Chain A
C-alpha cells in the first residue's frame, strides 16, 4: 500500500464509480459519505512510513508513488493536509444527506478532494499548477450542472484559472534554474512577473476577482460553498509551497508587498460589496473575497520573518471555522432557495420564519465570518488585527472594515429573512435531520470559539508540522 494511491488514486477511481450510481441520489450520497469518512479515518489513524499491525495482518504505507518518471510524495508530516481536505469533504457530504443537490455533487466532490491533494504533493512542485487547473475544470462542470446555464462569471473563472497554469509552471521551472545560479537577475525579474500575475489569477485577486460574486449568485450555495472553500485554500497552500522553494523569494520585499496590498484590496472590495449586496449568494461571494484577503494579509505578515511558520500555520487554524461557517451559511441558503423563488433579498422576505434553526445557523455563520468575539474565527482575526496594527495600521483598519462590511451585509439579509409578513402562516418547514445537522454545526462553532485551545490549537499544530 502507498499513501498517494490511497489518498489520491483511490478517491479518483471511486469518483468514477460514484458517477455511475449518481442517478440513485440517496445511495450515492450515503456511499460517498461513508467512503469520505473512511478516507478521513485513514488519514487520521494510519501513519505513513511505519508498520501498521491490524490483528494478524501487518503492512506499511509507503510515502512515494512514481508515475512516468515523476513522484507523488505524502510524508507522515503531510497527513494533516490530507486529513483536513477529507474532513471538509466528509462534512459537506454528510450535510448533503438532508439537502437537495445536483446529481454530480458527490462524484465531483470526491474527485476534487483527490485532485487537490495530488496538486500539493506532486514532485516537481510546479506540476501542481496543472492539477489545480484540472480541479478548476471540475469546478466549472459543477457550477454549470448546478445552475443548468452558462454565465459570464463562469467563463471568466475558466479563462483566469487556465491562464494561471502556464505562468506558474514557467515560474516554477525558472525558480529551479535560479536556485542553481542565484545571481541570475534578469531571470529573477521574469520570475517575479510570472509569479505575481500567476498568483493573482490563481487566487482570484484584484483585478481578477469579479467572477466570484457573479458565480455565487447563480450556483446553488451549498455546493458553491464546498468548491469555493476547498479550491482557494489549496491554492494558498500551493502558493506557499511555491514560495518555500527559494529562500530569496520568502524574504523578497516584492512578495511581501504583493500579498499585503492584494490582501488590503480584497478585504476592502469584499467589505464594500457585502454592504451593498441584494442577493445572499453574492453576499457569500463577497464574504469569501474578504476571507481570501485575510489569508493574504496573514501570509504577508509571515513573509519576510526569519520564521514565518506561525503565521502560515494559522491558515490551518483559520480554515476550520471558515469552512464550518460557509457550510452552515450554504446549508441555510440552500433551504431558502428551495422554498423561495431565488436568493434575491426581495424573494426572501419573511422566509427565515419558516426555517428558524437554519436562520440561527446562518446568523452564527455571519458572526463567525466577521470574527465576532467568542466565536471560532475570533482568535485568528484578533491576532491578525493586532499584528497589522503594530506593523502598518491602515491594513489593520482595512481588515476590520472588511469584517464590518460583511457583518452589515449579513445583518441586512437577516433583517429581511425574519421580517413579519403574516404571523399566522409561519410554519416550520425544516426536517429533523436538517435541524440536527445545523445544530451540530452551530454548537461546534460556539465550542471552538469558547475553547480554542481544545478545538483550534490542534489545527495550528498540524499547520506547524505541515510547514516544517
Chain B
C-alpha cells in the first residue's frame, strides 16, 4: 500500500470511528472505536514522522483504550453485584431517534467546517496535506461534539483524546520533536488514567 492510500485509509478510519463514538451507546463498541482511531492516527502521522515515533501514537492510543476499557469493565462488574442496579450500566440508556438525528445534523456542521477550514489550515501550516487537514479538523470537531453531548467521565476522556489526536496529527507535520510527542503521549495516557480514576467516583450511572 503506497503512502497516498495509507493516508486515505487513515482519514477514512479516524472520521468514521470518531463519528461512531459520537452516536454509539454501548461502551464496548466505543472503546473498540477508540482503539481503531489510534490506527488511523498512526497512518496519518506516519506520513510525517519516523516509524518509531508514529508507532508511539498507535501504542498510546491502544493503551488508552485498554485503560478505559478495563476500568469500565470493573465498574460494570461492580454494578452487577448490586441487585438494585441496572446490570448493564449506562448501556441501558437508549438514545431517542430525535437525539440521533440531531447529532448527525451537528456532524453536518462539522462537515462544513472541514470544507472551509481545510484549505485555510493548509495555507497557515506549511506541509500539512489536504487529507491530514481533514483529519485534524474532523477529529477536533467531533471531539468537541462528544464533549458537548455527553457528560460521563468515559465520554469526556474519549472526547478529549479525540481532540488531542487531531492536534497530534497537526503537530506531527509542523513540529516533529521527540520531547513534544513524548509529552503528548503522556498527556493522552494521563487523560485515560484520569478517566479510569473518575469512573470509580462517578457515583451513579450516567448516560454515556
B170-203 interface bits toward A, Cβ cutoff 8 Å, 1 = contact, 0 = none: 1100110111101110110011001001100111
Q: Contacts A141-B194, A144-B201, A170-B170 given; indicate if A159 touches B151 (C-beta within 8 A).
A: no
| Interface-lining segment among A43-51, A86-94, A126-134 | A126-134
Q: Are B153 and A155 in contact (CB under 8 A)?
A: yes
Q: Contacts A144-B201, A150-B203 given; indicate if A137 touches B156 (C-beta within 8 A).
A: no
The residue on A at minimum CB distance from B153 is: A150
Q: Contacts A162-B164, A187-B124 given; indicate if A144 touches B198 (C-beta within 8 A).
A: yes
A127 to B123 alpha-carbon distance, docked (Å):
24
Q: Are A67 and B179 in contact (CB under 8 A)?
A: yes
A418 on interface, CB distance cutoff 8 Å: no
- Residues of the A chain whose Cβ atoms lie less than 8 Å from the Cβ of B183: 127, 130-131
- Residues of the A chain whose Cβ atoms lie less than 8 Å from the Cβ of B124: 174, 186-187, 190
| Residues 148-176 (chain B) with a chain A CB within 8 angstroms | 151, 153, 156, 159-160, 163-164, 167, 170-171, 174-175
- Residues of the B chain whose Cβ atoms lie less than 8 Å from the Cβ of A165: 187
The residue on B at minimum CB distance from A131 is: B183
A291-306 interface bits toward B, Cβ cutoff 8 Å, 1 = contact, 0 = none: 0000000000000000
Q: Are B201 and A150 in contact (CB under 8 A)?
A: yes
| Residues 109-165 (chain B) with a chain A CB within 8 angstroms | 123-124, 147, 151, 153, 156, 159-160, 163-164
A173 to B124 alpha-carbon distance, docked (Å):
11
A130 to B151 alpha-carbon distance, docked (Å):
24
The residue on A at minimum CB distance from B170 is: A170
Q: Contacts A67-B179, A130-B184 given; indicate if A158 touches B156 (C-beta within 8 A).
A: yes
The residue on A at minimum CB distance from B186 is: A134
SS class, residues of chain A in contact with chain B: helix
A199 to B203 alpha-carbon distance, docked (Å):
32
The smallest beta-carbon distance between B49 and chain A, in angstroms, is 14
A163 on interface, CB distance cutoff 8 Å: yes
A207 on interface, CB distance cutoff 8 Å: no
A152 on interface, CB distance cutoff 8 Å: yes
The smallest beta-carbon distance between B28 and chain A, in angstroms, is 22
The residue on B at minimum CB distance from A130 is: B183
A149 to B202 alpha-carbon distance, docked (Å):
7
The smallest beta-carbon distance between B32 and chain A, in angstroms, is 23
The smallest beta-carbon distance between A46 and chain B, in angstroms, is 26
Selected from A150, A162, A163, the residue in CB contact (under 8 A) with B198 is A150
The residue on A at minimum CB distance from B156 is: A155
Q: Are B178 and A68 in contact (CB under 8 A)?
A: yes
Q: Are B187 and A134 in contact (CB under 8 A)?
A: yes
A140 on interface, CB distance cutoff 8 Å: yes
A149 to B170 alpha-carbon distance, docked (Å):
36
| Residues 130-157 (chain A) with a chain B CB within 8 angstroms | 130-131, 133-134, 137, 140-141, 144, 148-150, 152, 155
A431 to B8 alpha-carbon distance, docked (Å):
69
Q: Contacts A134-B186, A159-B156 given; indicate if A149 touches B203 (C-beta within 8 A).
A: yes
Classify chain B: how many residues form its interface, as a range. Answer: 20 to 34
A166 to B180 alpha-carbon distance, docked (Å):
12
- Residues of the A chain whose Cβ atoms lie less than 8 Å from the Cβ of B170: 170
A69 on interface, CB distance cutoff 8 Å: yes
Q: Are B203 and A127 in contact (CB under 8 A)?
A: no
A243-257 interface bits toward B, Cβ cutoff 8 Å, 1 = contact, 0 = none: 000000000000000
- Residues of the A chain whose Cβ atoms lie less than 8 Å from the Cβ of B191: 137, 162
Q: Are B187 and A163 in contact (CB under 8 A)?
A: no
A148 to B202 alpha-carbon distance, docked (Å):
10
Q: Contacts A149-B203, A150-B198, A159-B156 given; indicate if A127 touches B179 (C-beta within 8 A).
A: yes
Selected from B123, B178, B198, the residue in CB contact (under 8 A) with A69 is B178
A70 on interface, CB distance cutoff 8 Å: yes
Selected from B147, B178, B179, the residue in CB contact (under 8 A) with A159 is B147
The smallest beta-carbon distance between A85 and chain B, in angstroms, is 21
A237 on interface, CB distance cutoff 8 Å: no
- Residues of the B chain whose Cβ atoms lie less than 8 Å from the Cβ of A186: 123-124
- Residues of the B chain whose Cβ atoms lie less than 8 Å from the Cβ of A173: 174-175
Q: Are A155 and B151 in contact (CB under 8 A)?
A: yes
- Residues of the A chain whose Cβ atoms lie less than 8 Å from the Cβ of B151: 152, 155
Q: Are A137 and B202 in contact (CB under 8 A)?
A: no
A162-206 interface bits toward B, Cβ cutoff 8 Å, 1 = contact, 0 = none: 110110011001100000000000110010000000000000000
- Residues of the A chain whose Cβ atoms lie less than 8 Å from the Cβ of B123: 186
Q: Are A130 and B187 in contact (CB under 8 A)?
A: yes
Q: Are A137 and B190 in contact (CB under 8 A)?
A: yes
A155 to B160 alpha-carbon distance, docked (Å):
11
| Residues 91-145 (chain A) with a chain B CB within 8 angstroms | 127, 130-131, 133-134, 137, 140-141, 144
| Residues 76-108 (chain B) with a chain A CB within 8 angstroms | none
Q: Are B201 and A148 in contact (CB under 8 A)?
A: yes
Interface CB pairs A-B, < 8 A, 23:
A67-B179, A69-B178, A127-B179, A127-B183, A130-B183, A130-B187, A131-B183, A137-B190, A140-B194, A144-B197, A148-B201, A149-B201, A155-B151, A158-B160, A158-B194, A162-B163, A162-B191, A165-B187, A170-B167, A170-B170, A186-B123, A187-B124, A190-B124
With A69-B178, A134-B187, A144-B201 already in contact, 19 other A-B pairs whose C-beta atoms are closer than 8 Å = A68-B178, A69-B179, A70-B177, A127-B179, A127-B180, A130-B180, A130-B184, A131-B183, A141-B197, A144-B197, A148-B201, A150-B198, A150-B201, A152-B151, A162-B160, A163-B163, A165-B187, A170-B167, A186-B123
Residues of B at the A interface (CB closer than 8 Å) are 123-124, 147, 151, 153, 156, 159-160, 163-164, 167, 170-171, 174-175, 177-180, 182-184, 186-187, 190-191, 194, 197-198, 201-203
- 9 residue pairs, one from A and one from B, having the closest CB atoms: A68-B179, A166-B167, A150-B201, A70-B179, A68-B178, A130-B183, A162-B160, A137-B190, A144-B201
